């Protein structure tokens, strides 16, 4: 019987500590506000920043590819295609990195803990899309 009281007392202490930890965690989460979460409209970033230079680069690369591919064998055309596809992917990556850097800069200036795409948010957060576009331009 003494052993059972020892186990029961230990269990009660463990439950009390667990409840205290949960209470402190909930209190700290409730103290956080929505202004620490940024929201970005990536569709607007694409439309207003990325689309024009990306389409221009694609059209330029397509014209170069068309001119160089005339008279080549199928194998040479395939290699040339892969070369130009890699060039276009590098341009996309360069612009994506600029967008990521701009988002990080704005988030840092506003002391935000995270930034998510607006399509993933049902409620809350601070829209920083225009701030990001201002940094990009």
Check if the beta carbon of residue 98 is closer than 8 Å to that of residue 68: no
Q: Which of 24-28, 76-80, 123-127 has the lowest average pLDDT?
A: 24-28
- Structural contact between residues 133 and 44, judged by C-beta atoms closer than 8 angstroms: yes
pTM of structure: 0.67
Nearest to 42 by CA among 4, 81, 95: 95
- At 60, the pLDDT band (50, 70, 90 cuts) reads very high
Beta bridge partners of 127: 39
Candidate ranges 25-29, 33-37, 95-99; pick with highest mean pLDDT: 95-99
Dihedral angle of Cα 105, 111, 117, 119, to the nearest 10 degrees:
-150
């Amino acid at each position: 019987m003494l052993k059972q009281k020892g186990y029961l007392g230990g269990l009660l202490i463990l439950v009390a500590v667990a409840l205290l930890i949960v209470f402190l965690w909930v209190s700290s989460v409730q103290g956080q506000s929505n202004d620490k979460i940024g929201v970005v409209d990536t569709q607007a970033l694409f439309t207003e920043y990325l689309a024009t230079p990306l389409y221009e680069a694609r059209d330029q690369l397509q014209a170069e590819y068309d001119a160089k591919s005339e008279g080549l064998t199928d194998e040479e055309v395939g290699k040339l295609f892969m070369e130009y596809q890699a060039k276009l992917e590098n341009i996309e990556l360069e612009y994506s990195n600029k967008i990521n850097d701009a988002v990080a800069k704005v988030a840092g200036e506003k002391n935000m803990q995270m930034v998510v795409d607006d399509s993933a948010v049902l409620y809350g957060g601070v829209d920083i899309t225009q701030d990001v576009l201002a940094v990009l331009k």
